[in-house]
Amino acid sequence: MNNTTDFKIGLVGLTNVGKTTIYNLLTSSNSTVQKYPFTTIDTNTNKLISRDENVESLFKHFEIESKTHLERKKIFLCDVAGLVRDSSKGNGLGNLFLNHFNKCDVIIHVVRNFECEEVTNTEDNIDPVRDIRIVETELVSFDISQLTKEINRSSNQKKETLLKFKKYLAEKNHPMRLGEWNDEELLIIKELNLLTMKPEIFLINVSEKDLTNTNDEKLIEIQDYVEKTTKDPIITFCPIQEQKFVNLGNEKEEMKEFTSKIPEFISTILSTMGLITVYLHCEEFVESYKIPVGTSLGKVAGLIHKMFEEKFLSANVYNIKDLNEYHDLNLIKENGRYFKKGKNEYAEDGDIITFNFSTEENSNN
């Protein structure tokens, strides 16, 4: 997990599964979408629109009229060309574009589970589990090719370990993250940036009529397959409905029965990466930071400026859940939900933090 720069997640899947449609929706982009394969050739990257509802609560609470939100450590979404069966052997556009995922923190595996004769299917019929296996095989093949290159330029001691990795992938055809590796091997794996070592989330693209159909046979097959193999998170998603919902703006009454899956999707990304969100505020803006679980309040202060970590005295902390419940700081305090915490105590998801620093005036920030 990268701790100093923004985060990056990659969309992977077969051609015409809806990756670019989903990319456009989640980043407010306008990349070309067509009903035939290989519309996406060049890689697209843009910031994920997080739509953090907590920020709106904070604007109201702190009476910030400008509604300025400074989002630190943003999440960027990367969309590449679709895969086909045997991309690793040169079919379709090949698989070299998977290099763009080397620096990704999480891979989002988009799976098609909708019927539409107008949208070409390179496998001729809808079979999500088959498609998952094809993509997983292509990712494994890509990692094998990367390991082969590394083996050819490595010393004998490291080469033995790399050969062990390659053998595992070739024989098991399973992601590296499912293997059992010792600490020394994990250090080597970390250097390699192997795709199948990265956390994965399955995003199942469904039709409008199937969005609420929990008895869909193919969806049940997907759930059974993933439970028996990788146990990765699964989210059903209908980009057509989501786009309609977004287009309504603040006038969402006509879709009052619809619940957007975007908040669940973003929450799953954060939990998969082991991240939480904390909030700070100044007079004219709200700041949000995505930080690893288990980050101390002193380290959070250091994200603002290294000097603040050194001069940390204490932190006044309450949580967005309590703000949404009580709507008043005095009530939060009266109910024992306002805390003064030390440098080594951990920040928690949704914390609203005001730091006290040691300065000549001993003032607050």
Amino acid at 168: Y
Q: How confident is residue 94, by pLDDT bands cut at 50, 70 and 90?
A: low
Q: What is the mean pLDDT of residues 334-350?
A: 97
pLDDT recorded at residue 354: 93
- Our separate counts of H helices and E strands in the chain read 12, 12
Average pLDDT, the chain: 88
pLDDT recorded at residue 15: 86
pTM for the whole thing?
Answer: 0.87
Among residues 129, 201, 188, 126, the alpha carbon closest in space to that of 161 is found at 188
Contact 264, 272 (CB under 8 A): no
Supply φ then ψ for residue 194, to 5 degrees: -65, 140
Spell out where the chain has E strands.
7-12, 44-47, 68-72, 75-79, 106-113, 200-206, 234-237, 275-281, 285-292, 312-319, 339-341, 351-357
Q: Which fold has domain 294-357?
A: Ubiquitin-like (UB roll) (3.10.20)
- Which residue is associated with the tokens 């989640």? 26
Percent of the chain with pLDDT over 70: 92
For residue 230, pLDDT beyond 50: yes
7-51+74-272: CATH number:
3.40.50.300
pLDDT recorded at residue 197: 96
pLDDT recorded at residue 41: 60
Contact 286, 60 (CB under 8 A): no
Q: What is the rounded distance in angstroms from the CA atom of residue 309 to the CA atom of residue 294? A: 16
Percent of the chain with pLDDT over 90: 59
Contact 320, 279 (CB under 8 A): yes
Q: How confident is residue 36, by pLDDT bands cut at 50, 70 and 90?
A: very low
Domain residue spans in the chain?
A: 7-51+74-272, 294-357
Q: How confident is residue 323, by pLDDT bands cut at 50, 70 and 90?
A: very high
For residue 178, pLDDT beyond 50: yes
